[in-house]
Amino acid sequence: MTTQEFNEILDFAVEREKEAVQFYRDLQSMAPFADQKAFLKELESMEMGHIIVIENMRGKLPSENEIKHVPNLHISEYLVSDVQDLDLTYQSILIKAMKREEMSFQLYTDMSRKFPDSELSRLFASLAGEEAGHKLKFEKLYDEWIGKGN
């Protein structure tokens, strides 16, 4: 893999994270309550942090040991897939977030399998691991919220 190819992949990943930042900003403008806006602002900040993580990969391909192997609670896979029509309740915000992370995880996982180049495969696997961690965070929040009888 050339340096240019490596950077193009990272550019692609950064653009996906920027889309997520904008997604949460857009939701903030639609949220009717201050606590919803605050939570969405936290999610926006988290996505901005992801951009920093990806940018830090420039010039240094993650090693096999650095690739996160994150458990999957599979909560998002059993929830509604059309999130466009969901309202802005806490539950719906978590579902939207889980679905975004699930799609990103799946994209990077698929890409890691499609490239026979071990460096490319490892880069995409590393990005998938990052997204799996984000998805797990939302799944745990959702599980905790549901567990409280909501």
Which pTM value belongs to this model?
A: 0.79
Banded pLDDT at 81 (limits 50, 70, 90):
low
Average pLDDT over residues 18-36: 89
Residue 131 counted as domain residue? yes
Banded pLDDT at 25 (limits 50, 70, 90):
very high
Residue 42 counted as domain residue? yes
Cα–Cα distances in Å, from 119 out to 64, 104, 115?
10, 19, 9
Other beta carbons within 10 angstroms of residue 9's beta carbon come to 20
Q: Please answer whether residues 126 and 57 qualify as being in contact, where contact means their C-beta atoms are separated by less than 8 angstroms.
A: yes
| Phi-psi domain of 16 (left: phi exceeds 0; alpha: psi -120 through 50; beta: other) | alpha
Structural domains counted in the chain: 1
Tell me the two tokens of residue 33.
């309550």
CA 4 – CA 46 distance, rounded (Å): 27
* Structural domain harbouring 96: 3-60+71-147
pLDDT digits (tens, 9 = 90+) for 91-140: 888 888 899 899 999 999 998 998 877 888 888 898 899 899 989 989 99
Residue 79 counted as domain residue? yes
